[in-house]
């Protein structure tokens, strides 16, 4: 047997197969970052938002953006856009760290130097104190997608994950698969949940039997100047990087009362620091639901301690639209600080 010839044929076959697979990935362009890929009606296809959203952040059709964690994901950009006249992208990501939020926002700003408005969800992620926050979650974060060199992306596309997403893109283009996210980044993730089970929700909310929780205003406070909030300087930098003409709304989302109550002092102090940051930048306002109110005490408004229902999302969207139009949202469940 000609072993040398056999090895040569095996190597050539492997190289040809590798070239074909790599070419397949390049042509399908699952992350929409190959500068010479053929044009096609692509959509965000990767299940990991950190891979899908850079293409949305670069999309020139948008002139407004929502940034945050999953506590901001249900804000419907189409509804907010219809009320404001803007083209809105929702780039809020599950469990996004402050660093990841900053990176996607920086990418959006580089491609949209004059956005009409920005909604930034400020939840416990930004309010961490006396800790060394992690930059990333357990999810992969492709730093190479967030720079301005599309050519260096090519070296990261020859792997099984890119191949899997290329197959998904092919299925999408052939009409055999739905996109994971809409072109504006939105997806109603609660649609993936099992049917609503009030008893199971209450167990998740309370970790046991439900208990009464009294209303609590949790106003912005500066009672603990010794507390460190190591991420708030990064929030200040993010605000400073935002063009002066851009409206910014800092959203304290309506987490459930059972989650808020034991963290009341933390949230009050964080709000005080964030209010100072907002006051230092003209055109920045705060929409605050992060206190114990009839809305946050109502168990039926929630799936778990930090994720509210679409009905609550619709309320928040309406209030955001009112604030962005120059009005003042009203009601016992919201506090607006222009």
Phi then psi for residue 283, to 5 deg, are 80, 15
Band (pLDDT 50/70/90 cuts) for residue 6 is low
Contacts with 100 (C-beta within 8 Å, 6 or more apart), sequence order: 50, 93, 135, 136, 137, 141
Instruction: Name the token pair of 230.
Output: 């190591």
Contact 137, 97 (CB under 8 A): yes
DSSP 118: E
CA atoms within 13 A on the CB side of 2: 5
Q: What pLDDT, on a 0 to 100 scale, did the predictor assign at position 209?
A: 85
What integer is the mean pLDDT of 179-197? 94
Distance between CA atoms of residues 270 and 248, nearest Å? 18
CATH class of 53-151+184-337: alpha beta
Distance between CA atoms of residues 286 and 251, nearest Å? 6
Segment 97-139, tens digit of pLDDT: 999 999 999 999 999 999 999 999 999 999 998 777 889 999 9
Segment 217-276, tens digit of pLDDT: 999 999 999 999 999 999 999 999 999 999 999 999 999 999 999 999 999 999 999 999
> What's the burial of 137, exposed, middle or buried (CB within 10 Å: 0-12/13-18/19+)?
middle
Question: Could you tell me the residue ranges of all domains in the chain?
Answer: 53-151+184-337
Share of the chain above pLDDT 70, in %: 99
What is the Cα 321 distance to its own chain's centre? 19
Segment 278-318, tens digit of pLDDT: 999 999 999 999 999 999 999 999 999 999 999 999 999 99
Distance between CA atoms of residues 74 and 121, nearest Å? 11
């Amino acid at each position: 047997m000609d072993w040398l010839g056999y090895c040569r044929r095996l190597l050539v076959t492997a190289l040809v197969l590798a070239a074909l697979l790599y070419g397949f990935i390049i042509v399908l362009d699952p992350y929409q970052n190959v500068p010479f890929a053929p044009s096609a009606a692509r959509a965000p296809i990767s299940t990991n938002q950190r891979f899908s959203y850079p293409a949305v952040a670069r999309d020139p059709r948008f002139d407004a953006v929502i940034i945050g964690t999953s506590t901001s994901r249900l804000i419907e950009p189409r509804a907010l856009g219809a009320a404001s006249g803007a083209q809105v992208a929702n780039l809020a990501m599950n469990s996004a760290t402050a660093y990841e939020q900053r990176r996607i926002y920086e990418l959006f700003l580089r491609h949209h130097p004059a956005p009409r408005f920005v909604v930034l969800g400020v939840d416990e992620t930004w309010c961490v104190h006396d800790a060394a926050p992690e930059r990333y979650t357990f999810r992969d974060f492709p730093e190479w997608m967030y720079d301005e060199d599309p050519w260096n992306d090519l070296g990261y596309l020859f792997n099984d994950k890119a191949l899997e997403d290329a197959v998904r893109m092919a299925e999408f283009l052939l009409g055999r698969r739905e996109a994971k996210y809409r072109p504006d980044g939105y997806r109603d993730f609660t649609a993936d949940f099992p049917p609503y089970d009030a008893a199971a929700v209450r167990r998740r909310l309370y970790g046991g039997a439900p208990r009464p929780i009294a209303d609590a205003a949790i106003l912005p406070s500066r009672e603990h100047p010794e507390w460190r909030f190591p991420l708030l300087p990064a929030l200040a930098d993010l605000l400073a990087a935002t063009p002066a003409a851009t409206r910014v709304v800092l959203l304290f989302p309506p987490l459930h009362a059972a989650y808020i109550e034991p963290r009341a002092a933390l949230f009050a102090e964080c709000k005080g620091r964030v209010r100072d940051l907002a006051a230092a930048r003209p055109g920045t306002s705060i929409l605050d639901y992060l206190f114990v109110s009839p809305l946050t005490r109502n168990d039926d408004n929630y799936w778990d301690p930090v994720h509210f229902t679409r009905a609550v999302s619709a309320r928040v969207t309406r209030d955001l639209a009112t604030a962005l139009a120059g009005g003042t949202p009203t009601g016992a469940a919201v506090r607006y600080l222009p």
